Structures are given as C-alpha cells and as structure tokens.
C-alpha cells in the first residue's frame, strides 16, 4: 500500500552525500516519518551533513571503523530512544577504489574491506542491545523493519552468481567486500533472527561511481523510493536474503 515505511527510530550511516542523503530525505518524507532519526556522517564537520533538515540532533558517528566512535553513537541513541530501543539500523557507509584485476592492490583491498565489511559488523554488534530492546518492546509482532532490523546496503556487484557488469567495472576490492558483506548479512540473520531482528542485504542499484547508463535506476529518487518501499514490505520470510531496489530477490 501507500502507507509507506512506518518506523519509530532509525540510524542511517553514510549520510555525507549520495544515496545516504537521499535515504535520509526519503525517510523524512514518509507519511509517518521516524520520531527519532539518527544520521551518521563520516565527516560530521562536513558541508553536507550538518545543515540537513534532521528533526533531532544528528548522531555523529564519525567513523564506522572506529569502535570508540560507534560506542559514543550508541550512547547518544540510547539517551534519545530509552527503553523503546532502536528499530532500524541501515548500514549504508561504503567506499570503493576503481581497479582491475591487474591493478588491484593489498592496500585497496584492505581499505575497502575495512569500511564496507568490518564497519557494518562493528556497528551491528554495538547496536545489538538496542535492537533487541526494540524487538522485545514490540512483543510478539512478526519480524519487520518497524519492529527491529539491520539492513546492509550491498550491491549486485557482490553477487557471485550474477557477476554483473564485469566489462564495465572489475573493481575487485569492491566486489569482494560486498560479497563478504552479504555473508555477514546471512550470519547476522542466523544469530539475531531468534531475537526477532530481521537482517537483509539490499542493492540500491546505485553504485559509486555510477555504472554506465541503463545499468540501474534512472535517478537517485527512484532508487530511494524503491528501497523504502521494499523495506516496508520485508518480513520473517525475508530474513537472511538479498533484494534489489525494484523489490526483486537477488541470488547470492
């Protein structure tokens, strides 16, 4: 239906620009926007984040790869949400380095994996108590993004089966980090599912830098609308699965 995504509290990482900023605006424009919306920026002093129309003070998670930053963010969120917990964690922070198999380096692999895979792991671990609280506060309701969920923003470039766009973009470091992120989603789903927390990978069709024309959504708005529509529809049967912005199930 058109009632949109109704969720009381959301923490969204990677709000410095691009898709993160788009998702932030999209959440604010929902028919019933989140009461608590925490926008975590890599660069809290940066141009984009500070001036955005976020209803409450943003939670400045300066760096998803820094455990102290994450811990401070958990404290801020906890202050705001209290015993209601955190309903939805969207791990959107992502980086890439353009590369081919011939030019790929250990440094690229390490930098990209640290942000794209270890970042979401550490953030999910740290926010688990608040997500559990949210799941319990909502009682026996079915799994959903409104109750308690971790959404990992992934990419079809991480699908081993599809292996899309090889001719356009090899980007080994990015592909490997997203394939690993997808495995993390599955592990989170297996471990946290019993606590009522839904864990799903989502490809927004919006890789950075963009693929050639025609490879994904025409506009960022289209991507955001699709992702938020999908999130509103996810349920227990989607736990530990991989979807795209069109609401289509993707193969690992």
Ranges in the chain, pLDDT < 70:
1-2, 42-62, 206-218
**Residue-wise over 115-124: b if at least 16 C-beta within 10 A, else e?**
bbbbbbbbbb
CA distance 245 to 89: 17
How many domains is the chain built from? Answer: 1
Give the CATH number of the domain where residue 62 resides: 3.40.50.720
Helix (H, G, I), strand (E, B) or coil at 77: helix
38, part of any domain:
yes
Residues 6-35 pLDDT 10s: 999 999 998 877 889 899 999 999 999 999
What are the residues whose beta carbons fall under 8 Å from the beta carbon of 31, sequence distance 6 or more? 2, 3, 4, 6
1, part of any domain:
no
Residue pair 134/148 in contact by the 8 Å Cβ criterion:
yes
pTM equals 0.91
Segments forming the whole domain that contains residue 134: 9-249
pLDDT of residue 57: 42
2, part of any domain:
no
193, part of any domain:
yes
């Amino acid at each position: 239906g058109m009632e949109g995504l109704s969720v009381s509290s959301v923490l969204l990482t990677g709000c410095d620009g691009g898709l993160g900023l788009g998702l932030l605006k999209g959440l604010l424009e929902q028919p019933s926007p989140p009461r608590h919306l925490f926008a975590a920026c890599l660069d809290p002093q940066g141009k984009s984040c500070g001036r955005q129309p976020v209803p409450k003070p943003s939670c400045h998670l300066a760096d998803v790869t820094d455990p102290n930053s994450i811990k401070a963010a958990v404290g801020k969120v906890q202050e705001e949400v209290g015993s209601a917990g955190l309903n939805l964690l969207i791990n959107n922070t992502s980086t890439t380095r353009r590369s081919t198999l011939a030019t790929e380096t250990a440094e690229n692999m390490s930098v990209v994996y640290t942000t794209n895979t270890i970042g979401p792991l550490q953030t999910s671990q740290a926010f688990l108590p608040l997500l559990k609280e949210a799941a319990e506060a909502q009682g026996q309701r079915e799994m959903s993004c409104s109750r308690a969920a971790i959404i990992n923003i992934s990419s079809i470039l991480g699908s081993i089966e599809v292996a899309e766009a090889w001719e356009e973009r090899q980007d080994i470091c990015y592909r490997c980090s997203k394939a690993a992120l997808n495995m993390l989603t599955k592990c989170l789903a297996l471990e946290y599912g019993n606590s009522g927390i839904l864990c799903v990978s989502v490809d927004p069709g919006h890789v950075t830098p963009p693929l050639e024309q025609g490879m994904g959504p025409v506009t960022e708005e289209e991507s955001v609308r699709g992702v938020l529509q999908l999130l509103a529809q996810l349920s227990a049967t989607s736990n530990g699965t991989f979807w795209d912005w069109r609401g289509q199930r993707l193969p690992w």
